[in-house]
Structure 1
């Protein structure tokens, strides 16, 4: 089964021309079956209080989950004194052609640096019920300041990803209601444990030459490529036959500034057939990165 995957940091809909437009963000990745988005926002004045996750999913007609560990007050009282509840969020999203049976938002460690701009980061986990079998997908966006900020985050991601299949599903076993109960507390929901197959994608804010990348994908070896441990991932860009760099995924940088990555568990790596960056798109300061799989 062919499957097209994409990851896209959308810079809250702000394009290279200075215009906000989530419609063209969606159109840029409309060919993909599963998409990870980063820098998705809700209820910010600069975007006319748009729920960008809902807007993008509606335009693409896809299932989606959104998660944010940055959630601050945007509420107010209107002229009549009624409280209008709003939360300003900044986070990540997974959209899918197939249902997303379960999801979690995983908070990543933040190291404060006084006077330096930063945001709380997270990874959104989605279990996609693909026709070829369930796949775990993680959309993430790591800190941009320094390796010392990102390393605790990649350590957490690595632990999350390889621990998840052993944690069970969102619900384990039937709820112990008495026989005379008139309802089933779970309303018929039943979940299998998380599948082993997983994709971690997003804006890592680090290049393949970095220590953080090596922690996720293995140390480089001059003859044998990356030497991976059982709990490390494969870069689909390389699995598709590309060199580790040779492209920029940020339009303000020259070649060899690839910071948007799609990493997979080793069972999915042999199924990668192609990967490319859509460097003609102007809807964000990042380019979408695509991967084709033959599942």
Structure 2
């Protein structure tokens, strides 16, 4: 299974030009992916720099025929012109694997008057692989507020414990046609995205700390490149937005039980199709 994780900045490249279709083509050149997890996808947010289209989730579906496209909205705001349309900003998963369950998790947003912030979300899809079901989660944590980032890390860890509890104590469906579906969720998971947390920061270390009662998370890149520091992932080419210099803040984590299935995890440092660099994961 090949997975790409990328903060695509609504298809805006390092020079400021928006073309989401071009971004997706760049991703396809990196890997013939089974799953792509994207952050900063918009609907009704044409006022953003570069002028993204009215529905980028629909653009993804059009560009990737044969893929199921899932959305999760974090910021959901009224239009600026008084129309009933909304300005929406969130994450997307596109996959050609069968999807058995989709969950959308609003992440904690504790008050922090010292920093601007937005509602954040994690999108979870249970996909069916040749080795069994696997949870894929994509997220994008708060940028300005450490307090909020840490609360969001804690929630992602709690969701792993919840999934383990569902795996151990599954409930059957009420019937074959109603909304009460089976509650079983696999323990094995990939959690990826823009964590807005520097490598080896407090939030990073907290996320990979051991969990009592469930397999914890390991960094796929550092696991496969022991003793090395991961390459920079944000602000490598867009030095205007990242005037303080580039950082490493995009990661792909997997649960400990997937360690033996890690084949490769690489950060592409060449593309300038976003202000972030994509990560390509391959699992046996």
Task: Return the TM-score normalized by structure 2.
Answer: 0.85
Q: How many residues align?
A: 268
Larger Rg: 1
Aligned to 1:27: 25
Aligned to 2:220: 236
Matches within 5 A, 1:51-200: 51-61=55-65, 62-74=67-79, 85-114=84-113, 116-167=115-166, 172-175=172-175, 185-186=177-178, 191=182, 193-200=184-191
Q: SS of 2:253's equivalent?
A: strand
Q: 1:119 to 1:190 in 2, by over 3 A?
A: closer
Cα deviation, residue 255, structure 1: 9.3
Cα deviation code 1:61-90 (max 9, x no counterpart): 21121001311222867xxxxxx6422111
Q: 1:237 to 1:197 in 2, by over 3 A?
A: same
Cα deviation, residue 154, structure 1: 0.3
Cα deviation code 1:167-204 (max 9, x no counterpart): 479984324xxxxxxxx7529x8546111111110000
Q: 1:166 to 1:229 in 2, by over 3 A?
A: closer
Cα deviation code 1:148-168 (max 9, x no counterpart): 221111000000122124347
Cα deviation code 1:238-277 (max 9, x no counterpart): 2222545241001246998321011111111221121111
Cα deviation, residue 114, structure 1: 3.8
Match of 1:285 among 248, 271, 275: 275
Aligned to 1:216: 207
Q: SS of 2:257's equivalent?
A: coil
Cα deviation, residue 105, structure 1: 1.1
Q: Gaps spanning 5+ residues in structure 1: where?
A: 78-83, 176-183, 219-227
Aligned to 2:257: 267
Q: Gaps spanning 5+ residues in structure 2: where?
A: none
Decide whether the 8 Å contact of 1:141 with 1:202 is kept in 2: yes
Task: Return the TM-score normalized by structure 1.
Answer: 0.82
Decide whether the 8 Å contact of 1:239 with 1:270 is kept in 2: no
Cα deviation, residue 116, structure 1: 3.4
Q: SS of 1:291's equivalent?
A: strand
The runs of at least 4 aligned residues of structure 1 exceeding 3 Å deviation read 46-49, 111-116, 167-172, 189-192, 228-231, 252-256
Cα deviation, residue 135, structure 1: 0.7
Deviates more, 1:118-127 or 1:234-243: 234-243
Aligned to 1:207: 198
